[in-house]
C-alpha cells in the first residue's frame, strides 16, 4: 500500500517502466513453437531465461503485468546469489548499487545482547549478504534479459491454459490482441506464490502457516547507522513484540514490526496507524529527523511447498514451488538457485550433453533445499513470534539471560543463509573418507585467492576438474580433450585453495556448472574422474 494520493507504482525513489504488449502486427508469428516457455518474468523467471541463454537455449518469457513487482519485497541477497548473477554476466550493477553487510545486532528491552558477524575476509570476492530492493533486482535482470538475442519477453500476456503432452507443453495465452496457443518443448512455471500454472495442473502446496503477523514498512530518511541488521526484542515501542530494521540503498529503511494478538489487521494497516507505529520505532532507534513513508504491507509466515517440483514437461521454480518465511531471507535466494539448477540441467539435456535422467535430480535437490529452509525458518519464526505461552516464557527467559550471559544471546542469532548441500542427490558421488576437511560432495565450493584473481574467475562455464598436482591435470586434459564442456584447472598443492579444499598433492574435485561438488578424491585417477562425470551428467553409456 502507498500513502493516500500516490498510485501503485508512485515510488519516492524508483521509476517503474511500462512495457507494451506484443504488437498486433506480430500476431501471426506468435504461435511459433519455442524450446522453453517461462511463465512469469519475476526475478526467478528472468534468471532462468538468462541461465538458459548462457547454455545457448532460446526461451520465451510471458508475464501478465506491464512492469516489475511493485512495493517492497526481497531486500537481502546472499553471497551465493551474487555468484549466480555473476555467471549470468549480470552482477556488475548489483555490486555497484547493493549495500554489503556482515553484522547483525540483537537487542532485548533496549540493551544489546548479541552482535554476530557472518564469515567474511580477504579471500572472499563477495560479502555474505547485500541489501538491495527487489525493484532493482528485477531492473538489472531485465537489462541483461533485454540484451539477449535468445530471450523474447511478452509483457501483458497472461497464461490462461497449460497442458502437458508426451513431448512438450501447450500454453494458451491472452493478450490485448486476443488469445492464442503456443507449443513448448519444456515449460518453467515461475509464476509466483499464487501460481496459476500450479492450479491449472491441479497441484497444491502443502505445509504450515505460522503464528504472528508483521507490518512491513519502507521509509525514506537520513539516518546515520551503518548497514547492520537490527532485531529489537520486547522494545519499549512494541512491548512483547519484535522489530527488524534494515538499511537499503537510496536512504530507504525497512521496518518490520510484529502485531500483537489484539491488533486488528485492517486497523493496523491504516495509514495513520502505520505512521504512528513507525514513528514510535524511529524514536526508539534515536531518529528524530524527518522521514517519508514509501510503502507498507502486512505479512505472516508460511512454510508451504509442492511434493514434487516436476509435472511431466513442467518444472516449478521459485515461489510457485515453495513459500518460505521472510525471516530467513531465502525466498528469492532459493528461487535463483532453483532457476540456475534447472537451467543448466535442461541446457545440457537439450544440447545432448547429458542424459534425460539428469532432469529427475532437479526436484530432490531443490526440494531438499526447501525442507532445510523450513527447519531453520521454523526455529527462527518460533523465536521471533512464539506460537504459545510456553514458547514465549522460554524465549523471554533466554533473552533475559542474554542480558548477562553471551551464550544465551546466541539463541537470538537468526540462522543465516548458506547454500544447501546436495548430499542425497542421485547425481552426486559418495565422499572419499580420506578427506579431513574441504567441501564434501554436494556442497558449493569455497572461494580462494589465486596468484591472479579469485578461483571463481578461472572456472569454465561447464564442469570443472580442480586438480592439485600438474601430472594428474595433464593426464586429465589428454583424456578429456574431446569434451568442450569440461575444464581442467591445475592448482599448486601448497596454496590458499589447497588449504580451503583440504587437498594434498594428487587430490581433485569435480565441480558442476552450478559450483556444487559432484565428487572428490584424495588420490585422484583419471578413470574415477571420468566415471563421476558420467554419473553427474547421467551419461552412463557415453564415451568420455
Ligand X SMILES: Cc1cc2nc3c(=O)[nH]c(=O)nc-3n(C[C@H](O)[C@H](O)[C@H](O)COP(=O)(O)OP(=O)(O)OC[C@H]3O[C@@H](n4cnc5c(N)ncnc54)[C@H](O)[C@@H]3O)c2cc1C
Residues that bind ligand X (CB under 6 A): 39-45, 62-65, 69, 73-76, 134, 158-159, 190-193, 196, 216, 297, 299, 318-319, 326, 329-333, 335
Q: Between 293 and 466, name the residue whose CB sits nearer to ligand X.
A: 293
To the nearest whole angstrom, how small is the minimum distance from the Cβ of residue 254 to ligand X? 8
Q: Toward ligand X, which CB reaches closer, 55 or 191?
A: 191
CB-nearer residue toward ligand X: 335 or 446: 335
CA 480 vs CA 465, 469, 477, 483: distances in Å: 10, 17, 5, 5
Please, are residues 470 and 422 in contact by the beta-carbon 8 Å criterion?
A: no
Q: Count CB-CB contacts under 10 A for residue 9.
A: 18
Contact 81, 333 (CB under 8 A): yes
User: Least distance from C-beta 335 to ligand X, angstroms?
Assistant: 4
Please give the C-alpha separations between residue 125 and each of 91, 121, 130, 504, in angstroms, as whole numbers: 12, 9, 13, 24
Q: Is 501 exposed, middle or buried (0-12, 13-18, 19+ CB in 10 A)?
A: buried
Residue 534 CB, nearest approach to ligand X (Å)? 33
In sequence order, the 6+-apart residues with CB closer than 8 A to the CB of 388 are: none
Classify the C-alpha dihedral 140-143-149-153 as positive or negative.
positive
Nearer to ligand X, 314 or 500 (CB): 314
Question: What's 367-408 look like in SS3?
Answer: HHHHHHHHHHHHHHHHHHCCCCHHHHHHHHHHHHHHCCCHHH
What string of H, E and C letters represents the secondary structure of 461-515? CCEEEEEECHHHHHHHHHHCCCCCCEEEEEECCCCHHHHHCCCCCCEEEEECCCC
CB of residue 327 to ligand X, shortest distance in Å: 9
Q: How far is the CB of 1 from ligand X (least distance, A)?
A: 12
**Considering beta carbons, is residue 377 or 538 the nearer one to ligand X?**
377
Q: Report the nearest approach of ligand X to the CB of residue 124 (Å).
A: 20
Cα 472 to Cα 230, 478, 513, distances in angstroms: 50, 10, 21
Between 323 and 429, CB nearer to ligand X: 323
- Give the nearer residue to ligand X in terms of CB position, either 256 or 485: 256
- Give the nearer residue to ligand X in terms of CB position, either 103 or 523: 103
**Least distance from C-beta 162 to ligand X, angstroms?**
9
Give the cell for residue 402: 542474554
Nearer to ligand X, 37 or 510 (CB): 37
Of 66, 245, 39, nearest to 161 (Cα)?
39
Given the complex with ligand X, which of 326 and 346 has the nearer CB atom? 326
- Minimum CB distance to ligand X, residue 302 (Å): 11
Q: Is residue 222 classed exposed, middle or buried when 0-12, 13-18 and 19+ CB atoms within 10 A define those classes?
A: exposed
Q: What does the block give as the cell for 306? A: 509442492
Residue 502, phi-psi category: left (phi > 0), alpha (psi -120 to 50), beta (remainder): left
* Residue 138: φ, ψ to 5°: -70, -40
The residues facing 314 across adjacent strands are: 187, 311
Asked if 338 and 320 count as a contact pair (C-beta separation under 8 A), the reply is no
Q: What is the DSSP letter of 72?
A: -
Query: CB of 247 within 8 A of CB of 225?
Result: yes
Closest separation in Å from C-beta 334 to ligand X: 7
Q: Closer CB to ligand X, residue 134 or residue 220?
A: 134
- Compute the half-sphere exposure of residue 33: CA atoms within 13 Å on the CB side of its CA: 9
Start-end of H helices in 39-190: 43-54, 79-87, 92-97, 134-147
Smallest gap from Cβ 455 to ligand X, in A, equals: 25
Residue nearer to ligand X on the CB measure, 313 or 520: 313
- Minimum CB–partner distance for residue 451 and ligand X (Å): 35
CB of 191 to ligand X, least distance (A): 4
Amino acid at each position: 500500500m502507498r500513502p493516500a494520493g500516490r498510485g501503485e507504482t508512485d515510488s519516492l525513489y524508483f521509476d517503474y517502466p511500462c512495457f507494451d504488449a506484443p504488437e498486433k502486427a506480430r500476431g501471426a508469428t506468435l504461435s511459433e513453437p519455442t524450446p522453453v516457455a517461462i511463465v512469469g518474468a519475476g526475478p526467478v523467471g528472468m534468471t532462468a531465461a538468462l541461465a538458459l541463454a548462457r547454455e545457448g537455449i532460446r526461451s520465451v518469457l510471458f508475464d501478465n503485468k506491464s512492469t516489475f513487482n511493485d512495493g517492497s519485497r526481497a531486500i537481502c541477497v546472499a553471497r551465493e546469489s551474487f555468484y549466480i548473477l555473476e555467471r549470468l554476466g549480470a552482477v556488475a550493477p548489483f555490486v555497484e548499487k547493493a549495500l554489503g553487510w556482515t553484522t547483525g545486532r540483537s537487542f532485548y528491552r533496549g540493551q544489546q545482547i548479541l552482535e554476530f558477524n557472518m564469515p567474511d575476509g580477504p579471500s572472499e570476492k563477495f560479502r555474505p549478504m547485500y541489501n538491495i530492493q527487489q525493484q532493482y533486482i528485477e531492473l538489472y535482470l531485465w537489462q541483461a534479459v533485454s540484451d539477449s538475442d535468445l530471450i523474447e519477453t511478452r509483457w501483458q500476456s497472461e497464461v490462461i491454459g497449460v497442458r502437458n503432452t508426451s513431448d512438450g507443453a501447450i500454453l494458451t495465452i491472452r493478450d490485448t490482441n486476443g488469445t492464442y496457443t503456443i507449443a513448448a518443448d519444456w515449460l518453467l512455471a515461475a509464476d509466483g506464490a499464487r501460481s496459476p500454472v500450479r492450479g491449472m495442473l491441479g497441484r497444491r502446496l502443502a505445509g504450515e502457516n505460522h503464528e504472528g503477523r508483521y507490518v512491513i514498512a519502507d521509509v525514506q530518511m537520513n539516518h546515520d547507522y551503518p548497514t547492520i541488521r537490527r532485531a529489537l526484542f520486547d522494545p519499549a515501542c512494541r512491548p512483547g513484540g519484535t522489530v527488524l530494521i534494515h538499511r537499503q540503498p537510496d536512504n530507504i529503511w525497512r521496518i518490520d514490526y510484529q502485531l500483537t494478538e489484539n491488533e486488528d489487521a485492517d486497523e493496523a494497516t491504516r495509514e495513520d496507524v502505520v505512521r504512528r507505529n513507525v514513528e514510535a520505532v524511529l524514536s526508539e532507534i534515536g531518529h528524530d529527523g524527518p522521514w517519508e513513508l514509501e510503502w507498507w504491507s502486512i505479512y505472516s509466515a508460511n512454510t508451504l511447498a509442492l511434493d514434487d517440483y516436476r509435472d511431466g514437461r513442467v518444472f516449478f521454480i521459485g515461489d510457485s514451488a515453495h513459500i518460505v518465511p521472510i525471516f530467513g531471507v531465502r525466498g528469492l535466494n532459493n528461487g535463483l538457485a532453483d532457476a540456475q539448477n534447472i537451467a543448466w540441467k535442461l541446457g545440457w539435456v537439450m544440447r545432448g550433453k547429458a542424459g534425460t535422467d539428469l532432469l529427475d535430480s532437479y526436484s530432490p535437490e531443490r526440494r531438499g533445499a526447501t525442507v532445510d529452509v523450513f527447519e531453520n525458518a521454523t526455529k527462527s519464526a518460533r523465536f521471533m513470534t512464539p506460537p504459545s505461552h510456553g514458547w514465549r516464557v522460554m524465549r523471554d527467559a533466554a533473552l533475559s539471560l542474554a542480558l548477562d550471559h553471551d551464550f544465551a544471546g546466541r539463541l537470538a542469532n537468526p540462522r543465516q543463509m548458506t547454500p544447501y548441500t546436495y548430499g542425497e542427490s542421485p547425481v552426486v558421488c559418495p565422499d572419499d573418507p580420506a578427506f579431513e576437511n574441504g567441501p564434501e560432495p554436494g556442497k558449493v565450493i569455497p572461494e580462494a585467492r589465486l596468484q591472479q584473481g579469485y578461483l571463481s574467475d578461472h572456472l569454465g562455464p561447464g564442469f570443472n576438474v580442480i586438480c592439485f598436482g600438474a601430472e594428474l591435470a595433464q593426464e586429465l586434459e589428454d583424456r578429456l580433450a574431446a569434451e568442450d564442456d569440461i575444464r581442467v584447472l591445475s592448482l599448486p598443492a601448497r596454496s590458499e585453495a589447497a588449504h580451503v579444499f583440504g587437498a594434498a598433492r594428487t587430490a581433485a574435485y569435480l565441480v558442476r556448472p552450478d559450483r556444487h561438488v559432484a565428487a572428490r578424491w584424495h588420490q585422484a585417477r583419471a578413470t574415477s574422474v571420468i566415471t563421476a562425470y558420467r554419473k553427474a551428467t547421467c551419461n552412463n553409456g557415453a564415451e568420455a
